[in-house]
Chains A and B, each alone.
Chain A
Amino acid sequence: MVSALSIENLEKTYDNGFQALKGIDLKVEPGDFFALLGPNGAGKSTTIGVISSLVRKSGGKVRIFGVDTDQDFPGAKQLLGVVPQEFNFGQFEKIYDIIVTQAGFYGLPRKLAEERTEKYLRQLGLWEKRNDVARTLSGGMKRRLMIARALVHEPRLLILDEPTAGVDIELRRSMWEFLQEINAQGTTIILTTHYLEEAESLCRNIAIIDKGEIVENTSIKSLLKTLSREVFILDSRDALPASPDFAGYEGRVLDDHSLEVVVEKGQSLNRFFSSLAEQEIEIVSMRNKANRLEELFVALVKSGQEES
């Protein structure tokens, strides 16, 4: 089966000598919801730039659904939709005009362009704002405008660069639902994000890029399995004793009503809860201290820094 995105030995060296990409390889399968993570300056945006033609590569191959960008970039671009990190639409244009115009750039006849514009503006809750000038929109609306614009030619591969940056929680959730919906309908999605919770809940596969190299490329499940330990925070109904017995587990009291416990991979929590019950400590809630993916991400990037 042909990959939705295939990147082989992709290199980019800027004129000042900075090597942004050091020969990365990446494959994203059709229908996938894929996360591309990395710290600032790792090479995520350069990779997206090369795929979308805004950045010229120094070497390597990029194929979108088998279409080689060296041989048929226009053909590859027809299959691709990009939502950039920064707002890049005409600030003085009407929302409706921005979407219809973008459809025209992909050769869609006017009638079809108008139908699709209505469809996506409605789906993204912007139809009532269609005659508003883009610069008057809120940050969240501007993000949704860029998603509608990227979808108007109905690409098979959609790349979103930090789509929920600066978006409030409620809107972020609704955008997640929308993205999951179009992914379920068959659109392959690649997402870069700083919200690791977002990657964990939306994506099936993940690549972590650091200093222009892919340091991890696997499924989210496999990656989470490599966690050696997890830290949980537990809240008690009543005030905790000054020095509760942790039954051999590593832990500490955080305040009057909460404590923290470290659980090694494969270790059971039963004994710990039995010990708490014996001490008449009633636990009313429990949660992960940190996002699990975040821990792995930090560990991977940190190990890269130590090696270099």
Chain B
Amino acid sequence: MNSAQIWISFKTIVRREIRRFMRIWPQTLLPPAITMSLYFVIFGTLIGSRIGQMGGFDYMQFVVPGLIMMAVITNSYSNVVSSFYSAKFQRSVEELLVSPTPNWVILSGYVFGGVCRGLAVGLIVTILSLFFSKLQVSHLGLTIAIVLMTSIFFSLAGFINAVFANSFDDISIIPTFVLTPLTYLGGVFYSIDLLSPFWQAVSKLNPVLYMVNAFRYGILGVSDINIAWAFAGMLVFIIVLVAVCLHLMEHGKRLRH
């Protein structure tokens, strides 16, 4: 395929992904809007007013970046894992596999689809947060970069989960038992300064902590961790995940016998 054909193929995959999550918007876009609104009301307004300040900000201001990031993480991941596994389950993935579309384009298309949903939900949650709190972005470029990288990272992770999944149960195990605990313990609701040194050290092994704090730094200008390390770490993880995904597509036995 020449570059124009590759571009058409990429656009086709992305268009199909967007069409899919827009078609089922009551399952994809509405639930996070409702869930996050409840978080804003309960943690931000009701409980937050009693907590006082966190990291030098009102609790509501502190928690908003974390909740936006949580929405981006879960939706990027679940878009790719559910879409690619459904394609595997219905065997419609064969439409792509028998076509001349290169593997890296297939991967890019699905990941970009995940990023689109992650960002769409992130935007919805951000707009909703404006009803509860003021939002001033300290470092716009950094904020966009970190949200993009996070979305790419979790879209790639969702792709790997989908490749290995053998049933619909398998695509909910990782989000339930890995993703949710990592996100809740990743500094969304609290600053790790509140923890003892031991638990602070343990928390620093959680990659979500770096993403949430880097995003919070982009918005509020404060962070529990070194931002440069967060960027470098995410970049390395993304490269590793891309390599794993391409290896699975090229040599794995889950897609081609």
Residues on A lying within 8 angstroms of B by beta carbon are: 14-15, 49, 52-56, 73-75, 77-78, 80, 82, 84, 86-93, 97, 101-102, 104-110, 149
Contact = CB atoms under 8 A, between A and B. Distances in A.
A54 B98 CA distance: 7
B253 interface: yes
B236 interface: no
A54 B1 contact: no
Give the interface SS of chain A, mostly helix, strand, loop or mixed.
loop
Given A88-B91, A101-B12, A107-B1, A14 B257 contact: yes
The residue in A53, A78, A106 that gathers the most chain B C-beta atoms within 10 A of its C-beta is A106
Interface stretch (B3-11, B121-129, B154-162): B3-11
Given A90-B87, A91-B90, A53 B98 contact: yes
- Size category of the B interface is 20 to 34
A91 B12 CA distance: 18
Interface in B1-57: 1-2, 4-6, 8-9, 11-13, 15-16, 19, 23
B22 to A, nearest CB: 13
Contact of B90 (A53, A73, A88): A88
Contacts of B15: 101, 104
Contact of B95 (A88, A109, A110): A88
A10 to B, nearest CB: 14
Given A53-B98, A56-B257, 19 more contacts: A54-B256, A55-B257, A74-B100, A74-B101, A86-B91, A87-B91, A88-B92, A90-B87, A90-B90, A104-B8, A104-B9, A104-B13, A104-B15, A105-B95, A105-B96, A105-B99, A107-B2, A108-B8, A149-B95
Contacts, number: 87
B102 interface: yes
Given A88-B91, A88-B92, A88-B95, A105 B101 contact: yes
A14 B253 CA distance: 11
A81 to B, nearest CB: 9
Interface of B: 1-2, 4-6, 8-9, 11-13, 15-16, 19, 23, 86-87, 90-92, 94-102, 253, 256-257
A88 B99 contact: no
A107 B9 contact: yes
Give the interface SS of chain B, mostly helix, strand, loop or mixed.
helix
Contacts of B95: 88-89, 101-102, 105, 149
A53 to B, nearest CB: 6
B91 A107 contact: no
Closest 5 CB pairs of A and B: A107-B5, A104-B12, A74-B100, A88-B91, A105-B99
Nearest to A91: B90
Contacts of B100: 73-75, 77-78, 105-107
B77 to A, nearest CB: 21
Nearest to B92: A90
Contact of A104 (B2, B11, B102): B11
Contact of A89 (B1, B8, B90, B98): B90
Nearest to B19: A97
A101 B18 CA distance: 13
A99 to B, nearest CB: 10
B4 A107 contact: yes
